[in-house]
Amino acid sequence: MHEFRDSMKFFYRYLKQYKLSFLVALVMTVIAVYLQVQAPVFIGDALNKLVSYAGIKMTHAPGADHAWDLFIGVIWSLLLYYVFNALANFIQSIVLSISIAKSTNEMRTGLFSKLQKLTVAFFDRKSDGDILSRFTSDLDNIYNAMNQVLSQLMTGIALLIGLLIMMFDKNAQLAWVTIASVPVSIILAAFIIVKARKYVDIQQDEVGKLNGYINERITGQKIIITNSLQEETVEGFKVHNEQVRKATLKGQIYSGMIFPVMQGMSLVNTAIVIFFGSYLAVHGDIDKTVALGLVVTFVQYSQQFYNQIAQLASSYSMIQLAITGARRVDEMLDETEEVNPPNGIQIDGVEKDIKLENVDFQYLPDKPILKDVNIQVDKGQMIALVGPTGSGKTTVMNLMNRFYDVNKGSVKFDDVDIRDLDLGSLRSHVGIVLQESVLFSGTIRENIAFGKPDATDEEVIAAAKQAHIHSFVETLEKGYDTKVSEENNIFSTGQKQLISIARTILTDPSLLILDEATSNVDTVTEARIQKAMNNVIKGRTSFVIAHRLKTILNADRIIVLKYGEIIEEGNHEELMKENGFYAELYNNQFVFE
């Protein structure tokens, strides 16, 4: 119920600006419904007249003409009824469709804009697949449900009300007879819905698991091939697929039951109406001349009434999916955003130094990662950070860019706490080559110029030359106009890193952070990246995280991190002399993981 109320708020938030459209739709609905409920009365009346004329016809010849005229008249009027009814329905559904398309579009844009405001912590916590599914299946479910159900719901409810009014207006006794079995139907429908909902939920879970399995196996396909596990993989797939089939079948059996059961109820009710109607027609106080028509009218009411209940009941699973979708979309909209300090200080770069002072940090409560870390980088210095895997090197980098905030202590640029800096200003002065490089779909030129879209060709080429990727790009048929993307990948891992380095060079950052920029490359490329780095680092304040100690021999200072604590600090010679952890690492260069 909680979920239902929250999702109603969600829909209201997006739909309230289309009040006028909804009013138009409502008016059209009322017109359509009015025509629809009037038609049976009209047919009933016409029938009564025809019967009375038929009676006349036996004795009176001219009556036949009358009957014929009336017959033609009835056909015409009916035609008009249905044309206007269809027209009103059409306008209603168009008006609704337009509002729905616009509002789901707004939901999608809102969700995506929200995504751009979220913290790195959010992206570390949530899987890509989960985020993506809110854009795809959840928004699709919302759109489909609104598109198909909203108009139906409006018409359905209006029609039920209209029918009730008409029935009680015509004949209260017959009206009671017609709706007497409704509670039974509702209980029956509710019972089936509860069952169906359970299996629809299971089905969704199983589909999610199946997708997860497929996703995981595609990513790991090379490992599967290497280990010849193709057949086992198919077997595993079959198990998941079978689960989906079972859940889907059960869900379908129950969901599929609603309509026929309701139609069965409709038939039973028709019989009840005919039986009691005839009884009342004969024994009750109904005018005998109109009794037959009245029963016919009520038979139609009964069918329409039940038809609506069946429609509403069977659209329930779609509504449920939309409610779930709204909850999941809303959940993401509620995530905490990154806060830019009000009146944040703008900086022009680093003049003096960058410091981490007494920094404590943890990602998760009670799991301290960095403990009392102190690091000072003077302007123009190159600091190297080494240490075993998981020791907290990337974490230090995360703090300098405010991907995360420290729990204790502070990070300072020229003695100003970075929490007082304007986020945009801070980040425009910090360039990071991440541990894993990413390509965006577009040309190589666009990829290099990603952080500075207005860069000239000369600047792009200069950056590429500094990163030692220019000569490779030149060998490509289309050069810098070659299209690349994360999927269609013409670069080796090392080349991708060089592209990332070029991208970072182009933005000319005051502080440069290279996280393991040489971990994935062969020794020749490593030497090349080394040169590229030396180019880039020259005269720039930099922070280099490296596993391969060869790449950091000429660092001004090397900081050794272990279990989140600085255990040694100094330049290469000093640390070697100390003959501690660093010396050990250096001597065991190739086995130190």
Question: What are the residues binding ligand ATP (CB under 6 A)?
Answer: 124, 363-364, 369, 387, 389-395, 435
Q: Which does 363 bind (CB under 5 to 8 A by kind): ligand ATP, Mg ion, none?
A: ligand ATP
Contacted by 243, from ligand ATP, Mg ion, none: CB < 5 to 8 Å by type: none
Q: Given the complex with ligand ATP, which of 40 and 392 has the nearer CB atom?
A: 392
Residue 263 or 362 having the CB closest to ligand ATP? 362
**8-state DSSP, 62:** T
Here the tokens at position 509 are 């950052």
Greatest CA separation for the chain: 130
Q: Which is nearer to ligand ATP, 393 or 496 (CB)?
A: 393
Q: Which is nearer to ligand ATP, 112 or 123 (CB)?
A: 123
Q: Which positions from 223 through 262 interact with Mg ion, judged by CB under 5 A?
A: none
CB-nearer residue toward Mg ion: 349 or 388: 388
Token pair of 531 as six digits = 């040169």
Alpha-carbon distance of 160 to 521, in angstroms, equals 71
SS3 556: coil
The secondary element (H helix, E strand) that includes residue 585 is helix 581-587
What CA–CA distance (Å, rounded) separates 276 from 555?
98
Triad 40, 186, 268: Cα angle to 5°? 55
Output the six-digit token pair for 282. Answer: 């004969």
Minimum CB distance to ligand ATP, residue 126 (Å): 11
Which residue's entry shows tokens 């912590």? Answer: 121
- CA–CA separation, 396 and 40 (whole Å): 77
Residue 319 CA to residue 141 CA, distance in Å, equals 9
Nearer to ligand ATP among residue 422 and residue 565 (C-beta): 565
Chosen from Mg ion, ligand ATP, none, partner binding at 392 (C-beta under 5 to 8 Å by type): ligand ATP
- Closest CB 511 distance from Mg ion, rounded Å: 18
State the binding partner of 162 from ligand ATP, Mg ion, none, CB within 5 to 8 A by kind.
none
- What is the number of the residue whose Cβ is closest to Mg ion? 394
> Which of ligand ATP, Mg ion, none has residue 524 at its interface (CB below 5 to 8 Å by kind)?
none
Q: How far apart are CA 190 and CA 509, in angstroms?
A: 63
Residue 389's binding partner, choosing from Mg ion, ligand ATP, none, with beta-carbon cut-off 5 to 8 A by kind?
ligand ATP
- How far are the Cα atoms of 153, 219, 328 from residue 228, in angstroms, in the given order? 54, 15, 39
> Which of residues 435 and 492 has its CB atom nearest to ligand ATP in the complex?
435
Given a contact cutoff of 8 angstroms between Cβ atoms, the answer to whether 202 and 251 are in contact is yes
Task: Determine the size of the site formed for Mg ion (CB under 5 A).
Answer: 1
* Cα→Cα distances 181→270, 305, 352, Å: 11, 11, 84
The 3 state secondary structure assigned to 507-553 is CCCCEEEEECCCCCCCHHHHHHHHHHHHHHHCCCEEEEECCCHHHHC
Binding mask 336-375 for Mg ion (x = CB under 5 A): ----------------------------------------
Q: How far is the CB of 352 from ligand ATP (least distance, A)?
A: 27
Of 500-519, binders to Mg ion (CB under 5 A) are none
Of residues 434 and 583, the one with the C-beta less far from Mg ion: 434
58's contact among ligand ATP, Mg ion, none, with CB below 5 to 8 A by partner kind, is none
259 binds, among Mg ion, ligand ATP, none (CB under 5 to 8 A by kind): none
Minimum CB distance to ligand ATP, residue 584 (Å): 17
394 scored as a contact of Mg ion (CB under 5 A): yes
What DSSP string describes 187-204? Answer: HHHHHHHHHHHHHHHHHH
The nearer residue to Mg ion, 407 or 435, going by C-beta atoms, is: 435
Only segment of 59-67, 258-266, 389-397, 570-578 that touches Mg ion (CB under 5 A): 389-397
Q: Give least dist CB 184 to ligand ATP, A.
A: 55
| Minimum distance, C-beta of residue 356 to ligand ATP, in the bound complex (Å) | 14
Nearest alpha-carbon partner for 258 in 199, 202, 331, 309: 309
Question: What is the closest distance, in whole angstroms, from the C-beta atom of residue 504 to ligand ATP in the complex?
Answer: 18
Residue 237 interacting partner from Mg ion, ligand ATP, none (CB closer than 5 to 8 Å by kind): none
566 and 560 in contact (C-beta within 8 Å)? yes
Contacted entry of Mg ion, ligand ATP, none for residue 119, CB cut-off 5 to 8 Å set by kind: none
As measured in angstroms, the least distance from the Cβ of 399 to Mg ion is 13
Partner interacting with residue 390 (select from Mg ion, ligand ATP, none; CB below 5-8 Å by kind) = ligand ATP
What secondary structure does DSSP assign to 215-284, as a single string?
Answer: HHHHHTHHHHHHTT-HHHHHHHHHHHHHHHHHHHHHHHHHHHHHHHHHHHHHHHHHHHHHHHHHHHHHHS
Residues near Mg ion (CB under 5 A): 394
